[in-house]
Amino acid sequence: MPLKGIKENDSMRVVIQENYEKMCKWAADYIVSRINAHKDESRPFVLGLPTGSSPIGVYKELVRMNKAGEVSFENVMTFNMDEYLGLPREHEQSYWYFMHDNLFNHLTDMKPENINILNGMAEDPDAECARYEEKIASYGGIDLFLGGIGVDGHIAFNEPFTSLSSRTGVRNLTSDTRIVNARFFDNDPEKVPSQALSVGVATVTDSKEVIILINGHNKARALAATVEGGVSGKWTCSALQLHNAAIIACDEAACGELTVDTYKYFLDIERKERL
Ligand code: GLP
């Protein structure tokens, strides 16, 4: 069945931008166009959101556009992808703190009751995850999930070999991910929580549209696996190949491991898209 107002893609879209700033601008403009297209609906626009360094430029641009009156968040409901297990909201490295610091505190009309973030201090983490998945479903699912990607291709905290049909649940973090994220924890991997609550791969791929931000040389292997590799639990990002409205927004630096043919194909097809 065609998705209302959403163009299904014959192939995954890979939108290659010259640099990080342009990638973020492209993604923010796309998100704003989707929110604005939805504004006369009674149901809120349901937006899935990530943390990490990749989305920071997108959040800055969304804040700028919101303050300039180009987009309202009054009828937007958000669901974040993940949260560290055992970190309270007020911890500076909690994803609750990150989202308020980088986005929600700066929007003029975001309703606090429309913000959903998994509770890393829940007494029963499994029940918290089940409640989250049910709440997403009760709003008719996610309209647009914005995501980032780990160097090992994880989306949300779905590390390699997490089932591609997984739902929101507790995840063990790999040593690699704890080493990468140690930069936020005094460069000490041991200080990075070893577990997190995370939406599942299928929670992401069930959303009507997905945009994954992939930027920088260190994400080049992950981009190649997402676009050119086979669908495999080794690279959970590869599940996006089965989605009918998935967009990879990337910068030139992340394209280093794509074959020249793939790179040219997406530049060519996207140029036609704009005509
Ligand atoms: C964490 C998050 C992911 C995020 C990834 C990449 O592991 N759980 O959702 O995509 O980091 O972060 P960055 O954008 O900083 O590279």
- The minimum-distance atom of ligand 1 relative to the CA of 149 is 10
- pLDDT for res 2: 42
User: CA of 202: how far to CAs of 20, 173, 208, in Å?
Assistant: 28, 19, 12
Reading the block at residue 65, the tokens are 């556009």
Reading the block at residue 201, the tokens are 């791969």
**CATH 3.40.50.300 corresponds to the domain 13-270:** no
Nearest to 65 by CA among 105, 28, 97: 28
Helix, coil or strand: residue 260: helix
Which one is catalytic: 128, 152, 206, 209? 152
Residue 147 neighbours by CB under 8 Å, 6+ apart: 48, 50, 81, 155, 156, 204, 210, 211, 212, 213
118 and 128 in contact (C-beta within 8 Å)? yes
Residue from 102, 154, 217 whose mutation best tests the ligand 1 pocket (most atoms within 8 A of CB): 154
**Length of the chain (residues):** 275
Pocket of ligand 1 (CB under 6 A): 50-54, 81-82, 148-150, 156-157, 177
What pTM was estimated for this model as a whole?
0.95
Q: Which parts of the chain register pLDDT below 70?
A: 1-8, 10, 273-275
Nearest to 141 by CA among 151, 150, 152, 133: 133
Reading the block at residue 4, the tokens are 């209302």
- pLDDT for res 197: 98
- pLDDT for res 117: 98
Other Cβ atoms within 10 Å of 249 Cβ, number: 26
- pLDDT for res 10: 66
CA atoms of 20 and 16, how far apart (whole Å): 10
Query: Is 152 an annotated catalytic residue?
Result: yes
120 and 86 in contact (C-beta within 8 Å)? yes
- pLDDT for res 114: 98
Helix, coil or strand: residue 82: strand
**Cα–ligand 1 centroid distance for 237 (angstroms):** 12
Query: Nearest 5°: phi and psi at 89?
Result: -50, -45
Nearest to 67 by CA among 37, 34, 109: 109
User: CA of 122: how far to CAs of 81, 89, 98, 101, 197, in Å?
Assistant: 16, 11, 18, 22, 10
**Cα–ligand 1 centroid distance for 4 (angstroms):** 30
Which residue CA neighbors atom 13 of ligand 1 most closely?
A: 52
Looking up tokens 């639990």, which residue turns up?
Answer: 233
User: CA of 72: how far to CAs of 11, 64, 107, 165, 274, in Å?
Assistant: 31, 11, 9, 34, 26
Query: Is 91 an annotated catalytic residue?
Result: no
Reading the block at residue 176, the tokens are 């690699």
- pLDDT for res 275: 47
| Core vs surface per residue 13-36: b (16+ CB within 10 A) or e | bbbbbeebebbbbbbbbbbbebbe
